[in-house]
Amino acid sequence: MIPHPLPPDFIPFNRPHLVGPELEYIRQAVALGKLSGNGEFTQRCQQFIEQRYGVAKALLTTSGTAALEMAALLLDIQPGDEVIVPSYTFTSTANAFVLRGARIVFADSQPDHPNMDLRQIATLLTPRTRAVVLVHYGGQPSEGLLKLLDLAQQHGLWIIEDAAQAIEAQYQGRPLGTFGHLAAFSFHETKNVSSGEGGMLVINDSRFSARAEILWEKGTNRAAFYRGEAARYEWVDVGSSFLPSELNAAYLWAQFEAIETIQLRRRYLWERYAMALEPLAATGAIRLLPHLPDAQPNWHVFALLCRNEVERDDLLTHLRRRHILAVFHYLPLHQSPFYAAQHDERLLPHAECYARTLVRLPLFHDLTFIEQERVIETVLGFYQSDMPTYRAS
């Protein structure tokens, strides 16, 4: 349990960070007199990503989850369609497609990285396969991404990037979120750039642009009407309320403006963890996640892998007793109470292994030098303790 009340020296897993002008921009949004969605700040945020990443269209959403749900609607996923999804991910990656009646075919992780192992995809295809959802864990693409795009083209499959964690990351000089037909970013409180809850649908295949705007605006042509492109504002398709209010967009705009500073700070903290913990990894006591050559990381996650589950749980307890909140995630979706009975019984050993052994250390903009030292010393202390099972050999 997290101690209550929080001790003064408590180091949380995440602390929201104000870069500066967030509250001023919210004040400006109020002064502009339009608080509903698709106003000035929403437009600024969307144009920022469209120009920075060179994508056909970007739409702000209420969450990364909402962006994935829009993707499933846009692709017209029907009951019985099969969608390939990694098991080691957040529920929304699969849920967005389950809501449309899709059957989820879960794929295992890479042996050396939590990302989906793309070498299996060809063996999972059936005539009902419609789409593959890629999760860029910790802002890193899967090995073999470009080969998968070729395979998808041969088989007429849609590729959706769950780029919830991947803002500002690149592969071969190209931003993640620009490889699939559609992509979803998240601006949840724990992500690099945040508006509390928020997300963005990125449309790389411009055939989806016009319909995306309609789904986003509750099935109406409201956006086109306000641009003077439609004579009447009316109900033209299915849809929902996927757009956030201007208050959220104003907050997000402040974070977008500071995106380079945010990334620099995370990089600095990330590299300090890596430098301090590489010697421990060299002893074999822990493993660190490898970097894909050609990939530009975004420093979203600092994770280490313990040798087994008991040791991982003991490390988390050791940290918590010293008032540091580190966390593990994800429980494999193919074993979840909701989906286990519908999974086809294939074993996914790597996904299960990350669920048992992965630890994420606190990594956020305002983590101080002194706090980070304490996290590092506490992890090292665990392995130097006189408990022989944990001692680094």
Ligand X SMILES: *Cc1c(COP(=O)(O)O)cnc(C)c1O
Binding residues for ligand X, rule: CB under 6 A, are 63-65, 89-90, 92-93, 135, 162, 164-165, 186, 188, 199
How many residues belong to the chain?
Answer: 393
- In the complex, the smallest distance separating the C-beta of residue 93 from ligand X, rounded to whole angstroms, is 5
CA distances from 38 to 26, 110, 242, 250 (A): 15, 40, 11, 11
CA distances from 282 to 83, 164, 390, 392 (A): 39, 31, 15, 10
In terms of CB distance, is 301 or 379 closer to ligand X?
A: 301
Residue whose CB is nearest to ligand X in the complex, by number:
64
In terms of CB distance, is 299 or 383 closer to ligand X?
A: 299
In this structure, the dihedral spanned by the alpha carbons of residues 333, 167, 25 and 18, taken in order and rounded to 10 degrees, is: 80
In terms of CB distance, is 63 or 204 closer to ligand X?
A: 63
- In the complex, the smallest distance separating the C-beta of residue 227 from ligand X, rounded to whole angstroms, is 28
Asked if 88 and 330 count as a contact pair (C-beta separation under 8 A), the reply is yes
- In the complex, the smallest distance separating the C-beta of residue 4 from ligand X, rounded to whole angstroms, is 25
User: What is the largest distance, in Å, between two alpha-carbon atoms of the chain?
Assistant: 77
Determine the Cα–Cα distance for residues 321 and 95; give it in Å rounded to an integer: 35
In terms of CB distance, is 129 or 248 closer to ligand X?
A: 248
- In the complex, the smallest distance separating the C-beta of residue 372 from ligand X, rounded to whole angstroms, is 23
In terms of CB distance, is 199 or 239 closer to ligand X?
A: 199
In terms of CB distance, is 65 or 109 closer to ligand X?
A: 65
- In the complex, the smallest distance separating the C-beta of residue 252 from ligand X, rounded to whole angstroms, is 12
> Residue 244 burial (CB < 10 Å; 0-12/13-18/19+)?
buried
Residue 342, token pair as written in the block: 């519908």
- In the complex, the smallest distance separating the C-beta of residue 169 from ligand X, rounded to whole angstroms, is 13
